[in-house]
Amino acid sequence: MSLSLNRPDRRDGLRRLFRHPAEMLSSRAIRTQAPPISWLMQQAVEVEGLISLAAGLVDRASLPCARVQALVNEILADPEAGRDALQYGTTPGHHALRDLVRARYCAGTAYDDADQVVVCTGSQQGLELLGEAIYDPGDIVIVEDPTYFVYTGVLESFGCDIRGVASDADGMQVDQLALLLDQLRASGELARLKAIYVVSYHQNPGGWTLSLERRQALMALVHGLPEQVLLIEDAAYYELAFEPDQRPPLMATMDASGDRVASFLTASKPFAPGLKTGFMVVPPRLVAAVVHLKGNHDFGSNNFAHHILARALATGVFDEQVADLRAVYQRKAQILSEALHRELPAGSAQWAESSGGLYLWLQVPGVDTGPDGALFKACLEQRVLYVPGCYAFAPEPGRSKPSDRLRLTYGVASDEELVEGARRFAAALLSLGV
């Protein structure tokens, strides 16, 4: 979003924008900042010929135009189905879709109830709604360090007190979490703890998946916590596992109590982001609160998209697309990683090979990867963009943030752009004398 700075008649508007915010704006609006990614996106637009290895968009060539066209034609050529899809839906979403989501992700578990599935405008809306349902300013939320930086922005917007727990190749270090919980218990802060948030598959930005052992240990820890503490599982990349058979189970399906986990899934990454449809699976005690808040927000997301996706899931078209995308991203992850290995001086950077999702998480020892550092500047000169790692570390005062990490994505760039992007990135790094 940019105001047209070059138009004189809008300068008054800009003055107004900054003149008296405190009088007009709510306390939440004052706490809500533009996400750092906005600035990155702006760079991507302004630098001509730039290759973005930063933007979290999906692969363009594999977007399912023909599949969606066929589904829409099936729906709209049938007057009854067409009218159902173009009429208002209901607040929690199209029931057939909720039931297909239940069957796909929760069958046979303590969450096996379509009434606990709420369809949202992307999983992001689910995260926001759940936050509205449970957070008051001052509530403590524990996140992985690093974590999904859009969610820390949401937490700051709610006035939450964010605490980070170190993560490694197996995800959140649950023994470190246990230590933090002991500290909160000792300091009397445990009553303020509301949630533990994990991105549990092919994490953004780290790329790792929370291992089965860690999942079991995490679940046990959560069951020992006061009842108000919820485990929030952001499973946005669940479907994009290159080897789905080796994928550990969703946290919700491991919670025999049926009461402690909210899992978030999406059709954006594994099908089509333009349909902007995600799913939340919540414990019974939160259904009413979330649905009432959603009633205020929109009394139901885009019903047409719900009908398209229900048909995609019911007919197997969704699975076909997912299978195609797994192959696409596995190929693209390999292209980017191989190009980096080829172009970068040995030892100048480390990263783990991707097992799914959209990201590589690089450490570049001794190099400041921040937005004001030399590497970021050199990359802009070379016309390649990455996400500085500093954005992803928990904004917890006193907690140190490594300055030598960065996120690359193989999602949106073409095969050729990935190779050229890696070449430019290496040229930028070399220009620093690394």
Q: What are phi and psi of 315, to 5 degrees?
A: -95, -5
Q: Give the per-residue contact string, 327-356, with its own copies (x = CB under 8 A; - = no).
A: ------------------------------
Minimum separation from the CB atom of position 251 to its own copies (A): 18
Binding positions for its own copies, 16-75, rule CB under 8 A: 16-17, 19-21, 23-29, 32-35, 38, 56-58, 60-61, 63-66, 68-69, 72-73
| Separation CA 264–CA 117 (nearest Å) | 10
> Which among 82, 148, 139 has a CA at the least distance from the CA of 308?
82
| C-alpha–C-alpha distance, residues 71 and 269, integer Å | 18
Among 249, 284, 365, 402, binds its own copies (CB under 8 A): 284
- Taking the C-alpha atoms of residue 59 and residue 192, their distance in angstroms, rounded to an integer, is 41
Contact 148, 234 (CB under 8 A): yes
Q: At what angle do helices 212-223 and 174-187 cross, to 10 degrees?
A: 20
Cis geometry, peptide bond prior to residue 146 (ω within 30 degrees of 0): yes
User: Which residue, 22 or 346, is less far from its own copies as judged by CB?
Assistant: 22
Unique residue bearing structure tokens 């006035």: 159
Question: Nearer to its own copies by C-beta: 304 or 351?
Answer: 304
Site for its own copies in 145-164 (CB under 8 A): 150, 153-154, 157
Residue 86 CA: distances (Å) to CA of 72, 93, 146, 214: 11, 13, 41, 44
| Among the residue ranges 90-98, 167-175, 381-389, 396-404, the one whose residues contact its own copies (CB under 8 A) | 90-98
Q: Residue count at the site for its own copies (CB under 8 A)? A: 103
Assigned token pair, 421: 């992007």
CA 409 to centroid of chain Cα atoms: 13
Closer residue to its own copies in complex, CB, 10/342: 10
CB 300 within 8 A of CB 290: no
Q: Under the criterion CB under 8 A, does residue 89 sit at the interface with its own copies?
A: yes
Q: Identify residues 115-134 at the interface with its own copies (CB under 8 A).
A: 115, 120-122, 124-125, 128, 132-134
Instruction: Please tell me whether residue 72 adopts helix, strand or coil conformation.
Output: helix
Phi and psi at 179, nearest 5°, equal -65, -45
| Residue in 49, 79, 188, 224 binding its own copies, rule: CB under 8 A | 79
Q: What residues from 189 to 228 belong to the interface with its own copies (CB under 8 A)?
A: 226-228
Query: Considering beta carbons, is residue 99 or 170 the nearer one to its own copies?
Result: 99
Interacting residue with its own copies among 113, 189, 368, 396 (CB under 8 A):
113
Identify which range of 199-207, 239-247, 273-281, 354-362 contacts its own copies by CB under 8 A: 273-281
- Provide the β-strand partners of residue 290: none
Give the nearest distance from C-beta 106 to its own copies in angstroms.
Answer: 13
Residue 234: enclosing H or E segment and its boundaries?
strand 230-234
Answer yes or no whether residue 107 interacts with its own copies by CB under 8 A.
Answer: no
Q: Six-digit token pair at 419?
A: 């190779």
Task: Give the nearer residue to its own copies in terms of CB position, either 269 or 424.
Answer: 269
Q: Which is nearer to its own copies, 2 or 400 (CB)?
A: 2
Cβ-based nearer residue to its own copies, 285 or 342: 285
CB distance 164 to 147 below 8 Å: yes
Contacting its own copies within 382-411 (CB under 8 A)? none
Using rule CB under 8 A, residue 6 touches its own copies: no
For residues 229-248, which are near its own copies according to CB under 8 A?
230
**Closer residue to its own copies, CB minimum distance, 215 or 260:** 260
Q: Are 98 and 114 in contact (CB under 8 A)?
A: yes
Asked if 222 contacts 231 with a C-beta cutoff of 8 angstroms, the reply is yes
Name the minimum Å distance from CB 162 to its own copies.
14
- First CA to last CA across the chain, in angstroms? 36
Work out which of 298, 320, 353, 381 binds its own copies, going by CB under 8 A.
Answer: 298
Q: For residues 195 and 349, which CB has a smaller minimum distance to its own copies in the complex? A: 195
Q: Residue 197 forms beta bridges with which residues?
A: 143, 232
Closer residue to its own copies (CB): 133 or 394:
133
Is 138 a binding residue for its own copies by CB under 8 A? The answer is no
